[in-house]
Amino acid sequence: MGAGIIGIGSYVPDRVLTNADLEKMVDTSDEWIVTRTGIRERRICPEGKAASDLGTVAAIRAVEDAGIKVQEIDMIICATITPDMVFPSTACIIQNNIGIENIPCFDLSAACSGFIYGLEIARSLIETHRYRNILVVAAECMSRVTDYTDRTTCVLLGDGAAAAVVSKVEDNYGILDTYLGAAGKYSNLLYVPAGGSKIPASHETVDKRMHFMKMEGSTLFRIAVNAMSDSVKKIIERNKISPEDIVLFIPHQANIRIIQGVAKSACIAMDRVFLNIEKYGNMSAASVGVALDEAAKSGKIKKNDLICMVSFGAGLTWAANLIKWSKND
């Protein structure tokens, strides 16, 4: 038996932040944002809500889609870089929210690559035959670390969550292969400076806006295209398939130009690339999960289809996987 996704769900908040809204906040324009990023709007988590609230809804929807009871979940992995708090883990909060007790729960910090990292961990544990159903959640409130005075970053980020139930599936189906990578030497290119043990929160760190994301965009662009392209090529080569065998390519929704560059390098036609970046922007770990759910629910994925997902994020981290879809939707 293999291990694969038997249930998928997602959730984005109702509040929409449009490019027109951002024009009133910083020196930017709809044309500038769309031309450079492909983003037209993004979703924002309501005040008083957190990543766990978004993740809880996505988790419930994934369990329902899997056709199992929440009590049949054996473990929860939550991929997030915007946890509710430093501790306890957001996974533990989601566990309580959905009414499960006495199962292992932990958070995973791999930034935008977190959902694929989480799926691979779940797959490995399922294949040990010690776990039956593992819930992988990616929940992000990127608006909480967005500096809305910085025109270069505030246009990019949005909030959302996705979840998948990973279980045993028919042999030769499910998650066929995964490639994971990281390069800590580039950690200074995308980070939040303060709030951890190195630079604890203080009046000074707040005044200097050190609790918001900082990014070296031009350098990241080049590394992202190269790392994601290389990851997809490795997946294709290792599994002895051609780019044409991939029915749907689901890349991290960070920047339309990055997506186009990766697709071109990997020889994947844009008509087989799933895009929802214009609606949501970059939701970090939740991006590929939300895209996968929307693709499945819209009928773009059918049983036997080969799907390739790829992500790139802070760390720097990157990840790609190959899935033979096993669900009959």
Whether residue 56 contacts residue 64, with contact meaning beta carbons closer than 8 Å, is answered with no
Active site includes 282? Answer: yes
Q: How many CA atoms lie within 13 A of 194 on its CB side?
A: 14
Task: Out of 19, 133, 255, 282, pick the active-site residue.
Answer: 282
Of 45, 78, 92, 112, the active-site residue reads 112
**Angle CA(28)–CA(11)–CA(132) in degrees, nearest 5?**
140
Exposure of 27 by Cβ count < 10 A (0-12 exposed, 13-18 middle, 19+ buried)? exposed
DSSP-derived 3-state class of residue 114: helix
User: 252, 255, 308, 321: which is the annotated catalytic residue?
Assistant: 252
Query: What is the gyration radius of the CA atoms in the chain, in angstroms?
Result: 19
Q: Would residue 78 show up in a list of annotated catalytic residues for this protein?
A: no
Q: Which residues, at least 6 apart from 240, have a Cβ–Cβ distance to it below 8 Å?
A: none
Rounded CA separation 288/48 (Å)? 26
Q: Are 81 and 111 in contact (CB under 8 A)?
A: yes
The answer to whether residue 211 is catalytic is no
β-pairing, 248-251 vs 306-313, is parallel
Is residue 68 within 8 Å of residue 135, measured between CB atoms?
A: no
Q: Is 233 exposed, middle or buried (0-12, 13-18, 19+ CB in 10 A)?
A: middle
Q: How far apart are CA 286 and CA 130, in angstroms?
A: 27
Helix ranges (DSSP H) in the chain: 19-23, 30-37, 51-66, 90-98, 114-126, 203-207, 217-238, 256-265, 277-280, 286-297
Q: Is 291 helix (H, G, I), strand (E, B) or coil?
A: helix
Catalytic annotation, residues: 112, 252, 282
